[in-house]
Amino acid sequence: MPRNSASKVHGLFAAIITPFDSQGRVDTGALADLVHFQISKGTEGLYPCGSTGLGPMLRTDERKLIAETAVKSAMGKIPVVVQVGCADTASTVELARHAERVGADAVASLTPYYYKPGEAAVVKHFESISRSVGIPLFAYNIPQFTGNNLAAGTVARMAESGTIAGIKDSSRDLIQLQDLLDAVPEDFVVMNGTEEYGLYAILSGADGLVSGGASALPELFKSLVASQRKGDYKTALEAHRAILRLKELTKAGPISSYYAILKERGVDCGSPREPFLPFEAPQARKVIAGLKELGLL
């Protein structure tokens, strides 16, 4: 895909979890099963090694293995955007180059995290990544975790310079999102990354949703995106309300709950990596029962 084209990125992208075996190693067989599950449910793209995929907790070699497996398993049927962001620029560039080599359609990167080097340094970070690859680069803005917020004006300047082709916005700030949509070029791709705001973000003009919950329940999030695309706002609102109920049901541990839900659905991805704790059986049963009551399973 040419650098200046990120048109494959739209609709529902699943921010997939990372499966682990009983020894705590990345389970490539289960990851392939998860990718095939997503394709079978109509997911329009994959986003491995994001927050839901525990990207910041994984070693570089593990992240490379996940990228290779996800791209190979997708078989070109749906695009794969690999999240490569690290706290430092050199490691991010290494992962971006690897993702391009193994066939990723695009890469996305968190802002540098923990430290606050300032806007100029963050922009230079993205410029370094962009120069290192020939595929589109997406910024991933999730300031509540990284400590670094990408203001609308900063994003617009990077868009106009060709540094980034799009953004996954998880800022949880609808005013900032609207400012962003008003500031960027028409062909710049804006994907929402906060599920509770998905309805409003897409109505405001976002191109789609990158969803962690879609890792386990892609049909629900596909319903939200597809119904809005068709102008069926009644169905979109129903999906939005169901998503809010899902968030309430899983608030004790959203990521851990996705492993439990997928196991119930026949896709056993093991347990999340510590310090996350797996759901105990009573917790899992409560979530599954709640989802069945809502008609989501």
Is pLDDT of 29 > 70? Answer: yes
Kindly state whether residue 270 falls inside one of the protein's structural domains: no
Confidence (pLDDT) at 5: 55
- 81-112 pLDDT per residue, tens: 999 999 999 999 999 999 999 999 999 999 99
Kindly state whether residue 119 falls inside one of the protein's structural domains: yes
Share of the chain above pLDDT 70, in %: 98
Q: Which residues are part of the catalytic machinery?
A: 140, 168
Kindly state whether residue 269 falls inside one of the protein's structural domains: no
Kindly state whether residue 265 falls inside one of the protein's structural domains: no
Range of the domain at 57: 11-232
Q: What is the mean pLDDT of residues 269-284?
A: 94
DSSP string covering the chain = --TT--TT--EEEE-----B-TTS-B-HHHHHHHHHHHHHTT--EE-TTSTTTTGGGS-HHHHHHHHHHHHHHHTTSS-BEEE---SSHHHHHHHHHHHHHTT-SEEEEEPP-SS---HHHHHHHHHHHHHH-SS-EEEEE-HHHHS----HHHHHHHHHTTS-SEEEE----HHHHHHHHHHS-TT-EEEE--GGGHHHHHHHT--EEEESGGGT-HHHHHHHHHHHHHT-HHHHHHHHHHHHHHHHHTTT-HHHHHHHHHHHTT-----PPTTS-PPPHHHHHHHHHHHHHTT--
Q: Cα–Cα distances in Å, from 68 out to 22, 61, 65, 108, 215?
A: 21, 11, 5, 15, 18
Kindly state whether residue 88 falls inside one of the protein's structural domains: yes
Is pLDDT of 195 > 90? Answer: yes
- 202-213 pLDDT per residue, tens: 999 999 999 999
Is pLDDT of 4 > 70? Answer: no
Kindly state whether residue 272 falls inside one of the protein's structural domains: no
Confidence (pLDDT) at 6: 74
Q: How would residue 179 be classed by pLDDT, with cut points 50, 70 and 90?
A: very high
Q: What is the CATH number of the domain that holds 131?
A: 3.20.20.70
Rounded to the nearest integer, the mean pLDDT of the chain is 95
Kindly state whether residue 296 falls inside one of the protein's structural domains: no
Confidence (pLDDT) at 1: 41
Instruction: Provide the number of structural domains found in the chain.
Output: 1
Is pLDDT of 24 > 80? Answer: yes
Kindly state whether residue 271 falls inside one of the protein's structural domains: no
